[in-house]
Structures are given as structure tokens and as C-alpha cells.
Amino acid sequence: MPAPHHRRQFARYLPVLPAVVLLAVFLAGPVLWAFQASLTNAGLTGRHARNPEWVGLENYQRLLQDPVFPLSLALTVLFVGGSAILGQNILGLALAVLMRRARPAVSAAVGTAVVAAWVLPEIVAAFAAYAFFSNDGTINQLLGGLGLAEVDWLYAMPMVALILANVWRGTAFSMLVYRAALGGVPAELTEAAHMDGAGAWQRLVFITLPVIRGTIATNLMLITLQTLAVFTLIWVMTAGGPANGSSTLPVMAYQEAFKFGDIGYGTAVASVLILIGAVFGAAYLRLLREQKP
Amino acid sequence: MADAVLLLIGACFVLPLLWLVLGSLDPAAGHGTKLPQQPALDNFAAVLTPELLFRPLVNSVLLSVGTGAVTLAAAVLAAYPLSRYRSRFNTPFLYGILFGTCLPVTAIMVPVYGLFVQLQLLDSLPATVLFLSATSLPMAIWMTRNFMDAVPLAVEEAAWVDGASRLAALRSIVLPLMGPGLGVVFIFVFIQAWGNFFVPFVLLLSEANQPAAVSIFSFFGQNGAVAYGQLAAFSILYSLPVLALYVIVARGSGNSLALSGAVRG
């Protein structure tokens, strides 16, 4: 009797409905709307705001000819690669390894400092980073104190400042993930290697890292996705400037849509970003499945 | 050796924060970090006004508590069947949800703005609450289901034997048992909503509706050049609730928050 069975099944899953409706309207809806709107000339104001016209792939053709787009894509790759995959990942791992060897009080104090930068509201962290890298800010005070030349960070090398700021802001996540993972590495393994005469570096490279490689892959995926979406930090520190010198994809999408009032073109940029996110998301899910037998 | 390296790294992380603390106490603060010549609470006094601090903070509370409540309610309801019934539907649903946590939220803000224009929801606090709830729901459902899985079915079955309905058992047995877990989920959602800048920046236009994250940006975007001390003081007052909540959660179960951090941004 399939019918009553299905009906019961349906009634049982009724409580899922509010969540599904919320997700469908506010997450799936905008994503689908984005792909559709990116094929129109929808505007922020004026007549194209009320009656957008279908323009087919025009926005995407424009994207391919727009010199800002490849720049923006390259900056996004640089930002994610530099601040997440290299910076946060390696520093987070280093912190987690060092914390197991340091005195508990030191490790707790440093852990608090690292986490504090991560827990602060993003706008506050962005202001603090802006002040730190501004012309008469703390980092130039330090350089001056050491007798080195001061640098106008936010204009002369905005990407360096942004990458350092995002490492400061986000390393806590990788640190927490790796602390948990290192706690799960069986002590017998490293001890046995120690007995065989392996040094600290050898134990790390040949024992510990292979054991936690699943965690490393997961962490890389998650921080890539988080960093891909960073907007506030960049917007407050450089607003994408100078001359698009730091306008990553989220900043470009925002500017095209809201500063230049071209919602259609802005959503085309956003659609590219959504697709990149979806690719990484799918890779992340595959990874999880492989890890769970 | 490890101590020295750690302390050096730690110092680098503290430096930018030091500016916030010292600057807030220095009426003549600029971009640089320096000890105030005459430490004073002038900056705090200057920002403690209804239009500058209190109204934005009230909006932040409405936004964050609203988002926490809506998210938690929807997450508990959704988690129950996912945790208690076996079905072919569960795994794809949960993986779909996890996929949802991967979407870069900043990427969908332009389309969300377009959607809100068409539905005439722009500048509406309740609508913004619903959107924020949707963005935090995937992780909240995932966490809530894990907490619910930890409550043994046997406890619930004992209540059914005594004649309690499923809903009654959920309310009087299961939910109290997962109290601390629900607290973690609520605080996690609250912290995210409280700290979010981009979503209210795009969706809430009038000053009367803007939370502290946006008001701080618009006010100091105009007056920042002269009032860095006030900016620092405002930032500290606005950050305190989140720091306090984090300490509460970290004491209880630091790991679940680390896990939940997976979806920030």
C-alpha cells in the first residue's frame, strides 16, 4: 500500500517545510534570479529598473572584453592564494604545532589574541586594519622606529596590506581546526618515530601531516570559500582602489551594480562568483564523502 | 624556543587591537598607536547618545535576536525528522544543505537586492531578518541535527509509553536535554548576525533601521578624519556583547563553535 505510506512519510517531514521555504525564497531564489537577471539590462534606477530588457549573453560578452574583469579575477586568485591557502593555512598550522610545545599559559594567551581578531565584528576588524596600515598608522611607526623607509601601504601596495590584514583576521579558524586535528594524532605514532631517531621536522612532515591530510584538504576548501566572499575588509580598507588595484570579484560586482547602477552587469559578475563558489562547494562535498566511508 | 616564536606571533596579532583600546581612551587619537597623554573617557561620553549609539544598537539587537529566534525555530523543526526518521530523503537533503553553506553570501547580495526591490521588501527589518535566517539556516540545521542525534531515542520512547505525543516529548524531553547545544546554535547565529555588515548595508537604507555595523560605517565615513578616538570607543562598545558571548560558548564547548565558524562570511 504505497499511498498511505507516502502520506505518512509526507506528514513526518512536514516540519522541514519552514526551513525549506526560507532557503528556497532567500537563497535558491536569488541564485536563480541572478542567472536570469544577468541576461537582462536591469538598472538600479531609471526605466531599466522597472522594465529590464532581455539582452541574451551581452553582459557576458562585455565581461570578456572588460579589462577590469581579468584583473579582478587575478586579484581574487591572488587574495585567496596569498591570504588563505598560504597565509592562514600555514600560519594556522604553525600556531597549532607550536602551541603543543609551548607552555600552557603562553599558548592560551596567544590563542586568545588570535581568536580575538576573528571574533570581532567584521566592520570593527576592518577599521582596526585600516588604521594599522594607513599612512601614519602603527606599521609605519614600527618601520620608522626600526629606521626603515615608511610605505604608503594602502596606495602603493594595497594587495599586500589586504592579504596581511586577512591573515590577521582569519587565521584563528585554521588554528582551531588544526589544534583539534593534532589532538587526534595517535601519540604512539610520533613516539615510535622519535625512537627511530626522526627529528621534529621529519616527524611533522612524514607522520603528522599525512595523518591529518583529510583535515588539511577540508580546511583549505573552507577557507577558500570564506576568503572568496570577503567584502567588508576590502571595502573599508581600499574600496577596491586605487584604480581597481584591489577590486576582487565581490567588490567589482558591488561597484558595477550599485556605484554604476548596472544591475544586469553586476549580476553577471556575481554569477561568475557563484559558479566558482559552486565548483569549490561541490569539491568540498566530494571530499567529505570520501572521508566518510 | 616555541614560547618565544609564539609570543612574537601573538604580539603581531595584538598590535592592531591595541590601537582600538588606546585610541578609545585618547581624545586626540589618530591612526597611530600611542599611549594617550591624558587618558580620558571623553570618546565614550561623545558616542553615548541616542542617535549615535542606542538606536543602532537597538536595531542590532532586533536583527540578531530575531535572526537567532527564527533560525533556531526552523532548525529545530527541520532537525527532528532528519534525526529521528530513516529515509532516502535525509542524505541528499543534508548534503544539499551543506552545499548551501558553501555559497559565497557576498556574491548573492546583488541578486538579493534585485529580489527585494521586486518584492518591495527593501529597508524592511523583518525581511532582512528572514534573509539573514536563511543564510545561517544550513549550518544551524546541521549543528542542531548533530545535537539531537546525541539525545538517545530511548529517553523519548519512554515518554511515548507514558502517553506523550511526539510534539510533547520533543518539547518536554528532547529540547531541554539539548539545551546547551541549542544555546550554542543561538549564540553562533546571533554573533554572525550582530557582526554582519554587508547584508544590512545593502538591504537597509534608512538610518532609522540601520544596525550599529552600518551606522558606524556611514557616520565615521563622513567624520572619521576628525574622530578616530570616538570610532575606537564606538567599536569597543559595539564589540563587547559578541566578545562576551564568545567567552560563554568557548568555555562550554569551543569545538562546536570552531566547527560552526565553517560558514562565516
Dihedral of alpha carbons B233, B237, B242, B243, sign: positive
B257 pLDDT tier (thresholds 50, 70, 90): very low
pLDDT at B11: 92
Per-residue pLDDT tens digits for B17-61: 988 888 888 877 777 777 777 777 888 888 888 878 889 999 999
How many domains are contained in chain B? 2
Contacts of B265 in chain A (CB under 8 A): 122, 226-227, 229-230
Taking an 8 Å cut-off on Cβ atoms, the answer to whether A176 and B20 are in contact is no
Q: Write down the pLDDT at residue B261.
A: 42
The residue of B12, B61, B70, B102 whose CB has the most chain A CBs within 10 angstroms, and thus the best one to mutate to test that interface, is B102
Which residues of chain A are within 8 Å of residue B73 when distances are taken between CB atoms? 18
Q: What is the pLDDT of residues B93-137, one digit of tens each?
A: 888 888 887 788 888 888 898 888 888 899 999 999 999 999 999
> Phi-psi bin for A197: left (phi > 0), alpha (psi -120 to 50), beta?
left
- Please name the helix (run of DSSP H) or strand (run of DSSP E) that holds residue B201, with its range, or none: helix B198-203
- Candidates B3, B5, B7, B13: best to mutate against A (most CBs of A within 10 A) is B13
CB count in 10 Å sphere of residue A65: 7
Interface-testing mutation among A101, A124, A289, with chain B (most B C-beta atoms within 10 A): A124
Grid coordinates representing B155?
529517553
B143/B224 same-domain check: yes
Residues B84 and B179 in one domain: yes
Q: Are residues B30 and B77 in the same domain?
A: no
Per-residue pLDDT of B184-231, as tens digits, reads: 889 889 998 999 999 999 999 888 889 999 988 887 766 656 678 888
Same domain, B99 and B186: yes
B62 in the same domain as B21: no
Q: Is there a single domain that holds both residue B66 and residue B20?
A: no
Considering CB atoms only, which of A49, A138, A269 is closest to B33?
A138
Q: What is the pLDDT of residue B262?
A: 40
Structural domain of residue B144, as residue ranges?
Answer: 48-263
- Residues B19/B33, Cβ–Cβ less than 8 Å: yes
pLDDT value of position B258: 45
Other C-beta atoms closer than 10 Å to the C-beta of B30 total 16
Please check whether residues B138 and B207 belong to one and the same domain.
Answer: yes
d(CA A137, CA A155): 13
Evaluate the CA torsion angle B15, B17, B19, B21 in order and state its sign: negative
Q: Which three cell numbers stand for residue B229?
A: 578616538
* B122 and B236, same domain (yes or no): yes
| List of chain B residues whose C-beta atoms are within 8 Å of the C-beta of residue A281 | 99, 102-103
A-B contacts (CB, under 8 Å): 266
User: How many Cβ atoms from other residues are within 10 Å of residue B134's Cβ?
Assistant: 27
Q: What is the pLDDT of residue A147?
A: 85
Cell of B150: 546525541
**Residues ≥6 apart with Cβ < 8 Å to A104:** none
pLDDT attached to residue B260:
45
Per-10-residue mean pLDDT of chain A, 293 residues long, equals 66 87 90 86 73 81 89 94 94 93 90 91 92 86 86 90 95 90 84 84 86 87 90 91 89 89 87 89 82 61
pLDDT digits (tens, 9 = 90+) for B50-89: 878 889 999 999 999 999 999 999 999 999 888 888 888 8
CA B177 centroid distance within chain: 24
Q: B176 in helix, strand or coil?
A: helix
Which among B95, B111, B265 has CB closest to A30? B111
User: Does B122 lie in the same domain as B75?
Assistant: yes
Q: Name the closest residue on chain B to residue A256, using Cα atoms.
A: B110
Q: Which residues in chain A have their CB less than 8 angstroms from residue B198's CB?
A: 231-232
CB A42 within 8 A of CB A261: no
Complex-level ipTM: 0.86
CATH number at residue B69: 1.10.3720.10
**Same-domain pairing of B131 and B215:** yes
Q: Which residues are CB-neighbours of A20 under 8 A, at least 6 positions away?
A: B78
Length of chain B: 265
Q: Are residues B89 and B219 in the same domain?
A: yes
Q: What is the pLDDT of residue A1?
A: 43
CA distance A233 to A211: 34
**pTM reported for the whole predicted model:** 0.88
The pLDDT assigned to B164 comes to 78
The residues, any chain, with a CB within 8 Å of residue A263's CB and separated by 6 or more, are: A37, A42, A43, A44, A49, A52, A257, B110, B113, B114
B3 and B60, same domain (yes or no): no
